[in-house]
Amino acid sequence: MLIQPNGTYVDVTFGGGGHSKAILDQLIEGRLIAFDQDDDALENAFNDPKFTLVHSNFRQLKNFLQLYQAIPVDGILADLGISSHQIDDPGRGFSTRFENLVDMRMDRRQSNNGAYILNNYTEDELIQIFKFYGELRNARQIAKVIVEARTKQKIESTTQFKEMLNRCAPKFKEQKFFAQVFQALRIEVNQELESLKEFLIQAQEVLKPGGRLSVISYHSLEDRIVKNFLKAGNFEGVIEKDFYGNPLTDFNLINRKPIIPTDKEIKLNSRARSAKLRIAEKK
């Protein structure tokens, strides 16, 4: 992102504050407004008059920017990956590695967690989650096993959840299978794709002409949404044209293809291996 020293910027996924710190270091009289729904992230806030941290999901982008009289903005950054802190904290229930409650809430103020979904959603609803969010071919089998298991015992722990699905996991691909299962459940718990769509629409509205939107995604579902919106202004990827055949779009793409990490970067941070960065400039 090109930073103007007097510009107004937004980091909608503050997390540990790494991206925000890089932006803040380049500001002289500008402003940086950051968002994070995870209360753990509040501990990383900077004591700097140019910085404001909002404890909220980025689907509330426009409301809070209006509140802080910060519209229009010069640039917006979104790093959609789950933070390393969340993965490595056994109490959050995000990882397949730890024994704990199937929680997966990024915002612990919300009531429904992963265990609630596993114990209360219908079989058809569970099929949809694992089919579309996990892209699992045996989503029907997974849903059936869950529904049968919960009639005998309430599903609560990550270990219990994994054990009941062992027979659904393809041989020699167990790790990938459970990663997809946990991803699907996490997306549903946090309504991630719906939030992403709302955020993108609002980002287009609050950016000034020439302002840039940078989005880092980590799986195909997110990347497809971002790609289609930046290219076509809608989530289907259908480009509308005017009478003369010119595309009616709100953005100019800075990079036609996503920027992906180098081998060196992956060596330094293996969790970055699936990252895709797309950048677009508002017309």
pLDDT tens for 235-250 read 999 999 988 888 889 9
How much of the chain, in percent, has pLDDT values that exceed 90?
84
Position 95 scores a pLDDT of: 58
What residues does CATH 1.10.150.170 cover in the chain?
91-190
pLDDT one-digit tens code per residue, 256-274: 999 999 999 999 888 788 9
Given a cut of 90, whether residue 2 has pLDDT beyond it is no
Superfamily of domain 91-190: Putative methyltransferase TM0872, insert domain (1.10.150.170)
Q: Please say whether the dihedral angle defined by the alpha carbons of residues 127, 130, 132 and 138, taken in this order, is positive or negative.
A: negative
Query: Residue 88's pLDDT band (boundaries 50, 70, 90)?
Result: low
Lowest mean pLDDT among 157-161, 186-190, 245-249: 245-249
The model's pLDDT over 112-142, given as tens digits with 9 standing for 90+, comes to: 999 999 999 999 999 999 999 999 999 999 9
Question: Please, what is the average pLDDT of the chain?
Answer: 93
pLDDT of residue 86: 61
**Mean pLDDT over residues 30-52, rounded?**
95
pLDDT of residue 247: 86
pLDDT band at residue 98 using 50, 70 and 90 as cut-offs: low
pLDDT of 198 reads 98
| In the predicted structure, residue 92 carries a pLDDT above the cut 80 | no
**Residue 83 — pLDDT band, cuts 50, 70, 90?**
low
pTM of the model: 0.92
Q: Which fold has domain 8-84+192-282?
A: Rossmann fold (3.40.50)
pLDDT of residue 90: 58
Residues of the chain with CATH 3.40.50.150: 8-84+192-282
Average pLDDT over residues 11-27: 96
Q: Please say if the pLDDT value at position 91 is more than 80.
A: no
Residue 85: predicted pLDDT: 57
